[in-house]
Amino acid sequence: MTLETALYLLRQTQILRMQIDLPPRIEERLAELEEFARSSAASQRAAADWLERNKGRLSA
């Protein structure tokens, strides 16, 4: 999942929660999806930061 996709899904779940009252089971699944999106976004940011810091070593 790309960073953009993860952030898009996170925004969409937040919008959905504001618009309708969801059953508890769906709320739980959305919470899991939000956590996955945050985790995925954080992982991709960390990887991008690492690549930026180490690109000199990688091109050598």
State how far the Cα of 54 lies from the Cα of 52, in Å rounded to an integer: 6
Q: Domain ranges for the chain, please list them.
A: 3-59
pTM: 0.57
State how far the Cα of 17 lies from the Cα of 13, in Å rounded to an integer: 6
Better-scored residue on pLDDT, 39 or 3: 39
pLDDT of residue 49: 92
Query: If you search the block for the tokens 């996709």, which residue do you land on?
Result: 5
pLDDT of residue 27: 83
How far is the first Cα of the chain from the last one, in angstroms, to the nearest whole number?
A: 29
Give 8-60 pLDDT, tens digit per residue: 887 887 888 888 888 889 888 888 888 888 888 888 889 999 999 998 887 76
Q: 3 pLDDT exceeds 80?
A: no
State how far the Cα of 60 lies from the Cα of 41, in Å rounded to an integer: 29
